[in-house]
Structure 1
Amino acid sequence: MLDTASLELYQFAVAQPSWSKTDASTALGYPVREIEAAISQLVDHRLLQEPAPGLDQYVAMSPEVALSELVDEDERTLQDLRLSITARRREFSSLVPLYHAARKNIALSSSVEVLEDRAMIRRLVMDYGRDVTGQVLIAQPGQGSTADVHEQGIKKDLALLESGVVRKTIYHDSTRDHVPTRKSVEALAPVGGEYRTLPYIPMRMMIFDENLVVVSRQQTPDDFAALVIRDSNLIAIFTHLFHVGWELAKPFPLGDESAPSKLNNIQQLILNGLANGYADESIARRLDINVRTCRRHIAWMLEELGATSRFQAAIKAREAGWI
């Protein structure tokens, strides 16, 4: 959009075929530097034609002529871009048969594959997620993904559920208080998504039909590698483990199903850990939180209960109906 000075200068230039910067400054009341800035803007919009060599006069062009010049350049750019896109589509489409053939060869030659690259893991999950026809089973540790991640997941899961795919997810108990997770569950549960929670999930796991299992390796806290399992016997074992966990898990509460409590879910789980005699480090590791956060919750609960020790806190918590 042209600013006010540029519009006034354009009107002036159309009405005054022979003009100078000084003339425009005097007539319009703008300093010469603002006139020069307006000239630059009008030249960019092709509404002023730069003077020929030896002349110091800009010529006003009609809006139709200026538009045609700008559009012609954009159309050429768009045409070049379309040709480039077509060439890339042709190039990459020729790789599709090679990719599928190679993937089949991997399935035949390797029952367990280790992937270190997180981007490659995501691509593999997306690839198999598109091809799934029967069921997707997911065990997801941690306190919940971001709202953006859940928003993308909702769109994909809706498509799966509409096609008749069974979709089951086991979340960590702490996600019961995680707003993005709750919104995602409330959006998908009415259309067939099934969700439960456990107080401890040892590993991240995704099972696609009876064809593939992706399991986090987790040798160290910073290990993001995944084991890609294609062996039918191992897939059957992991599927059985998932269903065992599913039977032990509690349904994810929807709406106002969960009774109000003085403690949120993460505090409830910490308190259960204290009652079972677990150390702070062990509780934090099970809940996938850092030790400092765990101890901050413990200190708050000790103060609320008026307890001076962890043992006394467990007794008072039972008396108060917290556990």
Structure 2
Amino acid sequence: MRAAYRHALRRPSVTSEDVAADLGIPLPEVERACTELTTLGLLREDTRRPSAYVAVEPESAAERVIAPMERAIRAQRAAVETLRGQLQEYGRIYEERPAPGGGREGVEYIAALGATREAIAELAARCETEVLTSQPGGGRRAEVLQEAIARDEAMLERGVSMRTLYQHTARFSQGTREYVERVSQRGAEVRTLDDRFVRLLVFDRKVAVIGVEGDPGAAIIVREPNLVHFILSTFELWWVSATPFPLEWNNQDVADISEQLKQRITLLLSEGLTDQSIATRMGMSVRTCRRHIAEIMDRLGVKSRFQAGYLLGAQRAATRPDTPPTPPTGEQHAE
């Protein structure tokens, strides 16, 4: 494919037959290469010469091919943020919840970790068709994985389909990778996202278990159909934005994920969030977060975190002239 592109660069226009004859490559192979180069935007049809191609500068090809994809990704992220805000509105429901031991139709609050585990185990044992899981916060602890693997393998062996979401940082956890490999071999699908999302499980599209912010032992069990439907819609939006968890990956995969993490950290820096807030949101340690921030500062050519935040904020404001910057509020933002 590279040889065909190099050859096209040497002429005003070229046909597949020209390339095959000049380079001594079989015509079917050249035709496949030209098709792939056209898909990448590196070749375009010559309007003045039927069946001929004209080479395109890679930067122009990237603008034409990648730009629409980037716009779609930005639109998806905007939709994710909108749904995130909507989901947070249900915090009012949590605040109005009855005292532990009480309940109301469709929504149940469980305060104790033991009771939460029992409820999840019971729902998993009764699950018949599908379980959806989102687990933010990076790699999971060994004892949690040990408890989960037996339960999840039992569901998979019964024919239950399983989709699980982690954050990108979970890819660097050996224990989590081993767990993903085991469940993937039994048909589970696992993907990752760069940003934080809500901890939840959904069984048979009828019952959802939602984690309680600030209380890892508590949970909300939702059976109300409209709320469950909303939670499912949110999960599906996360899912289409996520990327598959690779069972095997090379140095380039590691570099790609690291770059995605840096891009997200850059955005959060421009929002004025503290190192601790960014680390929590990204599912990584503060030390790892600060290492990424140091590399970002080095790229920007600045010496202080304040300079980096100011520069990134200015750049972001310049690209969004109609949107005034959001002032820092609360303890999550740096002063």
TM-score normalised by L of structure 1? 0.55
- Residue 226 of structure 1 is matched in structure 2 by 219
- The answer for the alignment partner of 2:232 in structure 1 is 239
Q: Give the corresponding residue for 2:148.
A: 153
Among 211, 218, 241, the alignment partner of 1:248 is 241
1:274 — aligned with what? 266
How much has 1:227 moved relative to structure 2?
Answer: 1.2
Q: Could you tell me how far apart the structure 2 residues matched to 1:134 and 1:262 are?
A: 37
CA RMSD in angstroms comes to 3.1
- Pair 292,222 (structure 1): closer, same or farther in 2 beyond 3 Å: farther
**Structure 2 unmatched runs, 5+:** 1-100, 313-335
1:127 aligns with 2:119: no
Shift of 1:260: 4.9
Question: Contact conserved, 1:275 with 1:311, CA < 8 A, in 2?
Answer: no
- Deviation of 1:292 after TM superposition, in Å, equals 5.9
In 1: Cα distance, 2:127 partner to 2:251 partner:
33
Q: Counterpart of 1:259 in 2: which secondary structure?
A: helix
In structure 2, the CA distance between the partners of 1:290 and 1:176, relative to structure 1 (3 Å rule), is closer
1:162-177 equivalences in 2 (<5 Å): 162-177=157-172
Once the two structures are superposed, what CA deviation does each residue of 1:225-250 show, in whole Å capped at 9, x if it has no partner?
A: 32111112211221121112111111
SS at match of 2:210: strand
- Displacement, 1:126? 0.5
Task: State how far apart, in whole Å, the 2-side matches of 1:223 and 1:254 are.
Answer: 29
Alpha-carbon offset, residue 296 of structure 1? 4.5
Q: Which amino acid aligns with 2:222?
A: I
Cα distance in 2 for partners of 1:260, 1:217 equals 33
Judge conservation of contact 2:135–2:166 (CA < 8 Å) in 1: yes
Aligned counterparts of 1:313 and 1:241: Cα–Cα separation in 2:
33
Look at both structures and tell me which one has the larger radius of gyration over its CA atoms.
1
Check the 8 A contact 1:211/1:235 in 2, yes or no. yes
Identity score, percent: 31
Inter-partner Cα distance in structure 1 for 2:261 and 2:240 = 19
Q: Which moved more, 1:131-140 or 1:195-204?
A: 195-204
Deviation, structure 1 residue 164? 0.7
- Rounded to whole Å, the distance in 2 between the matches of 1:183 and 1:252 is 12
Q: Once the 2 structures are TM-superposed, how far is the Cα of residue 304 of structure 1 from its aligned partner?
A: 8.2
C-alpha distance in structure 1 between counterparts of 2:179 and 2:251, whole Å: 17
Q: Distance in 2 between matches of 1:137 and 1:160?
A: 12
- Counterpart residue number, 1:310: 308
TM-score (norm 2): 0.54
8 Å CA contact 1:177, 1:264 repeated in 2: no
State whether residues 181 and 247 of structure 2, in contact with CA within 8 Å, keep that contact through their aligned partners in structure 1.
Answer: yes
Residue 109 (structure 1) shift:
5.8
Q: Post-superposition shift, 1:310?
A: 2.6
C-alpha deviation, 1:294, in angstroms = 2.7
Partner of 2:188: 193
Matched position secondary structure for 1:225:
strand
1:209 deviates by: 0.7
In the other structure, the counterpart of 1:286 is: 281
